[in-house]
C-alpha cells in the first residue's frame, strides 16, 4: 500500500513509483517458457522417499495432509497456505522456477495459467487418465481442457442455489420462485408489502457471481475455433441476464449498495432487510457462521431457472493443479487422487474447509446426506447435488479472465451508478477481453 513518507525518505518519487511495479516485473523472465510436456515426459515412480510441495488456501488442509503423511511414509507432502495473495505467490514462484509440485487453482484461472505454461501434463500417467470418471463432468472438462491433457484434478465446485428466508416469505404470502420471472414477481410483491425489504442485492463488483449467472444461461464468454479465441462475452444470452437485473435495479427491487461477504452485507441480512441470498454450495457455512441468530429461518431451494430450462450455475470452486517442473508426477497423481476422491479425505475437507466435493463419490458422502441443523435439519446438500447435475458442461474460461472480470465489474458498477446499462458492461468486458488478448499476442476475434 502507499506509504508516502517511507518512499520519499528512501529515494524519491521516480524511484519509489517504479519500484513497486518493478518488483513484480523482476519476476517475469523474457525467456520463452519451456514446453510443458518435456519435463513431464515420464511418469516413473521415484526410488525411495519423495517430498511433494502442495500450496493451497483451504482451512484445515494441514490435518488432511497429516493423515496422508501418516499413511504414506514414502510420499510425504509439505503444505503451504497461500491465502494471502494466492495468484501473486504462484505467479512469482512460476517465474522464479520454484513452483510447488501441486497447487490450488480456481477453474477460471486455469486457461490464463496454462497460457503461461504453468502446468505439467499428468496425462503421461495412466492413473491420471483413469480417474476421469470419478469427477463431475464439467469440472473434469475444465481441468483437462476438453481432454487435451490432465493439468489438474477438480477439488470442489460451487453449484448455485437460492437461499430463502422462509419466515419472511410466509409473512408476506410468497411462493418459492421456480423461474427468474417468478423471482422478479416475488421481488415486486415484497417491495409493495414493505419498501424496506428487498428480495436480494446485486453486487456489481463481483464478476465471479455474475459469471455464475451467465453460466446458468449458457451465455458462453469464450470459444476456441479457427486457430483463434472467439470472444462472445456480449451475446443474446448474456444480454438476457443483464436485462433481467437491469429491470430489477431500475424498479429498485434489489439493493445495489452492498458488497458480497462484507460486514455491511451481513448487517443488512442481520437487520432482516433482505429476503433471499443467491449463493453457491460453499455459502452454506457463511450464513451459518455470520448470521447465527437466523438459525432455522433459512431454507435452500434450486436456483430459479430461465423458463423451462433446468440449467443451474456454478460459482467458484477450485482444482489441484500439477505445476510446471513437477518431476514426481507419479507420486503427485497418487496423492492428488487420494486428496480429491478418498471418502475420508473428502469428509475432512468438507467439515474443516467447507468444500463441496467435485468427486462424484464425494457427493454421496454420509456427511452430505444428513440434515443441517442451521437449516432446520433440511438436507441441503441434496439441493446442491441436483444443481451440480444441471450445470452446463461445455462452459470455458478465457486466457485473460482476470482482466475481463475487472472490466466487467467496473462497467457493471458504472451502470449501477446510473451511467449506462448492464448490457453496456457486457460490451465493455468484451472489448477489454479482446484488447488484453491482443496486448499479450493471443490470437483472438469477436465471435458474435
Q: Which of residues 295-354 bind other proteins (CB under 8 A)?
A: none
Binding region for other proteins (CB under 8 A) out of 54-62, 338-346, 360-368, 417-425? 417-425
**9 touching other proteins, by CB under 8 A:** yes
Q: Which of 53, 103, 112, 238 binds other proteins (CB under 8 A)?
A: 112
Q: Please report how close the Cβ of residue 111 comes to other proteins at its closest, in angstroms.
A: 8
Q: Please report how close the Cβ of residue 282 comes to other proteins at its closest, in angstroms.
A: 20
Q: Please report how close the Cβ of residue 281 comes to other proteins at its closest, in angstroms.
A: 24
**209 touching other proteins, by CB under 8 A:** no
**258 touching other proteins, by CB under 8 A:** yes
390 or 404: whose CB is closer to other proteins?
404
121 or 342: whose CB is closer to other proteins?
121
Q: Please report how close the Cβ of residue 426 comes to other proteins at its closest, in angstroms.
A: 16
Number of residues that bind other proteins (CB under 8 A): 78
Binding region for other proteins (CB under 8 A) out of 85-93, 157-165, 241-249, 313-321? 85-93
**445 touching other proteins, by CB under 8 A:** no
The whole-angstrom separation of Cα 265 and Cα 35 is 46
**96 touching other proteins, by CB under 8 A:** no
Q: Which of 75, 103, 114, 245 binds other proteins (CB under 8 A)?
A: 114
x/- contact string, 351-390, with other proteins (CB under 8 A)? Answer: ----------------------------------------
**84 touching other proteins, by CB under 8 A:** no
Buried residues in 180-199 as b, exposed as e (16+ CB within 10 A): beebbebbeebbeeeeebbb
Q: Which of 98, 263, 309, 310 binds other proteins (CB under 8 A)?
A: 263
Which residues between 397 and 416 bind other proteins (CB under 8 A)? 400, 402-403, 406, 409-410, 412-414, 416
End-to-end CA separation in angstroms for the chain: 40
The whole-angstrom separation of Cα 419 and Cα 48 is 63
Q: Please report how close the Cβ of residue 49 comes to other proteins at its closest, in angstroms.
A: 34
> Nearest 5°: phi and psi at 72?
-130, 80
What is the largest distance, in Å, between two alpha-carbon atoms of the chain?
71
Binding region for other proteins (CB under 8 A) out of 71-79, 252-260, 349-357, 386-394? 252-260
Q: Which of 257, 351, 361, 377 binds other proteins (CB under 8 A)?
A: 257
**154 touching other proteins, by CB under 8 A:** no
**293 touching other proteins, by CB under 8 A:** no
**394 touching other proteins, by CB under 8 A:** no
Q: Please report how close the Cβ of residue 110 comes to other proteins at its closest, in angstroms.
A: 11
- Name residues whose C-beta falls within 8 Å of residue 4's C-beta, 6 or more positions apart in sequence: none
Which residues between 29 and 68 bind other proteins (CB under 8 A)? 30-35
Q: Please report how close the Cβ of residue 363 comes to other proteins at its closest, in angstroms.
A: 31
Q: Please, which residues bridge with residue 135 across strands?
A: 359
**256 touching other proteins, by CB under 8 A:** yes
322 or 335: whose CB is closer to other proteins?
322
Q: Helices 283-290 and 263-270 sit at what angle, rounded to 10 degrees?
A: 70
Q: Please, which residues bridge with residue 231 across strands?
A: 222, 446
**195 touching other proteins, by CB under 8 A:** no
**123 touching other proteins, by CB under 8 A:** no
Contact between 156 and 318 under an 8 Å Cβ cutoff? The reply is yes
x/- contact string, 220-249, with other proteins (CB under 8 A)? Answer: ----x--x-x--------------------
Amino acid at each position: 500500500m502507499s506509504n508516502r513518507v517511507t518512499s520519499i525518505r528512501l529515494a524519491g518519487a521516480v524511484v519509489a513509483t517504479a519500484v513497486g511495479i518493478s518488483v513484480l516485473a523482476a519476476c517475469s523472465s523474457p525467456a520463452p517458457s519451456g514446453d510443458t510436456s518435456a519435463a513431464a515426459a515420464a511418469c516413473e515412480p521415484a526410488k525411495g522417499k519423495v517430498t511433494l510441495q502442495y500450496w493451497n488456501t483451504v482451512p484445515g488442509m494441514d490435518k488432511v495432509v497429516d493423515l496422508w503423511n501418516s499413511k504414506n511414509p514414502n510420499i510425504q507432502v509439505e503444505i503451504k497456505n497461500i491465502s494471502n495473495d494466492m495468484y501473486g505467490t504462484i505467479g512469482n514462484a512460476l517465474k522464479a522456477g520454484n513452483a510447488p509440485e501441486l497447487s490450488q487453482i480456481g477453474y477460471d484461472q486455469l486457461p490464463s495459467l496454462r497460457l503461461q505454461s504453468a502446468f505439467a501434463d499428468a496425462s503421461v500417467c495412466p492413473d491420471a487418465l483413469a480417474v476421469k470418471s470419478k469427477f463431475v463432468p464439467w469440472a473434469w472438462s475444465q481441468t483437462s481442457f476438453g481432454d487435451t491433457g490432465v493439468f489438474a484434478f477438480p477439488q470442489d465446485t460451487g453449484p448455485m442455489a437460492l437461499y430463502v428466508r422462509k419466515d419472511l416469505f410466509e409473512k408476506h404470502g410468497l411462493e418459492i420462485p421456480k423461474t427468474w420471472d417468478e423471482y422478479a414477481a416475488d421481488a415486486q410483491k415484497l417491495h409493495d408489502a414493505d419498501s424496506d425489504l428487498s428480495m436480494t442485492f446485486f453486487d456489481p463488483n463481483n464478476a465471479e457471481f455474475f459469471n455464475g449467472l451467465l453460466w446458468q444461461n449458457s451465455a458462453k464468454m469464450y470459444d476456441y475455433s479457427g486457430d483463434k479465441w472467439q470472444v462472445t462475452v456480449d451475446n443474446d444470452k448474456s444480454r438476457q441476464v443483464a436485462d433481467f437485473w437491469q429491470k430489477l435495479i431500475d424498479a429498485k427491487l434489489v439493493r445495489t449498495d452492498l458488497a458480497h461477504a462484507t460486514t455491511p452485507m451481513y448487517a443488512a441480512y442481520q437487520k432482516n432487510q433482505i429476503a433471499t441470498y443467491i449463493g453457491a454450495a460453499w455459502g452454506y457455512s457463511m450464513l451459518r457462521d455470520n448470521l447465527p441468530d437466523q438459525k432455522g429461518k433459512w431454507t435452500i431451494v434450486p436456483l430459479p431457472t430461465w423458463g423451462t430450462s433446468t440449467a443451474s450455475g456454478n460459482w467458484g470452486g477450485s482444482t489441484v493443479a500439477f505445476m510446471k517442473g513437477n518431476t514426481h508426477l507419479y507420486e503427485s497423481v497418487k496423492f492428488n487422487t487420494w486428496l480429491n476422491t478418498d471418502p475420508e479425505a473428502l469428509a475432512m475437507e468438507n467439515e474443516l474447509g467447507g468444500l463441496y466435493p467435485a468427486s462424484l463419490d464425494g457427493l454421496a458422502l454420509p456427511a452430505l446426506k444428513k440434515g443441517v441443523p442451521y437449516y432446520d435439519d433440511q438436507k441441503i446438500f441434496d439441493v446442491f447435488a441436483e444443481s451440480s447435475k444441471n450445470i452446463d458442461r461445455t462452459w470455458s474460461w478465457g486466457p485473460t479472465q482476470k482482466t475481463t472480470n475487472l472490466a466487467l465489474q467496473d462497467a457493471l458498477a458504472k451502470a449501477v451508478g446510473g451511467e449506462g446499462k448492464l448490457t453496456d458492461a457486457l460490451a465493455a468486458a468484451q472489448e477489454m477481453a479482446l484488447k488484453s488478448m491482443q496486448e499479450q499476442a493471443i490470437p483472438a476475434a469477436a465471435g458474435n
